[in-house]
């Protein structure tokens, strides 16, 4: 992935800027081995992962296919601010 957004995020991560990610991925993709490896790598690098349904920091969970609009409607943006700490 070679995009401006990815470059900015990589620079920020390398500079120690706090990064919060809210991965909203369906249950089919969640089972892909590269996805779980990516989540572990991001967490090990200090990225705070927020569950899109509960706002809990740590181990996010997959979103059932077709429920995205409901998850987005219930998401509280303050969860991201709280995750920054």
The answer to whether residue 6 sits within a structural domain is: no
The answer to whether residue 37 sits within a structural domain is: yes
Residue 63 per-residue DSSP state: B
The answer to whether residue 75 sits within a structural domain is: yes
Number of domains in the chain: 1
What stretches of 1-85 show up as alpha helix (H) in DSSP?
A: 4-14, 27-30, 33-44, 68-74, 78-84
Q: What is the pLDDT of residue 20?
A: 95
- Give percent above pLDDT 70 in the chain: 98
pLDDT tier at 2 (50, 70, 90 boundaries)? low
Q: What is the pLDDT of residues 65-78, one digit of tens each?
A: 899 999 999 999 99
The answer to whether residue 23 sits within a structural domain is: yes
Q: How far apart are alpha carbons 11 and 5 in whole angstroms?
A: 10
The answer to whether residue 5 sits within a structural domain is: no
């Amino acid at each position: 992935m070679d995009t401006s957004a990815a470059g900015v995020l990589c620079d920020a991560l390398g500079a120690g800027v706090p990064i919060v990610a809210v991965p909203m991925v369906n249950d089919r993709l969640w089972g892909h081995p590269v996805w779980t490896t990516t989540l572990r790598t991001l967490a090990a690098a200090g990225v705070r992962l927020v569950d899109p349904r509960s706002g809990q920091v740590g181990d996010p969970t997959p979103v059932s296919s077709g429920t995205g609009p409901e998850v987005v409607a219930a998401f509280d943006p303050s969860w991201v601010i709280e995750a920054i700490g």
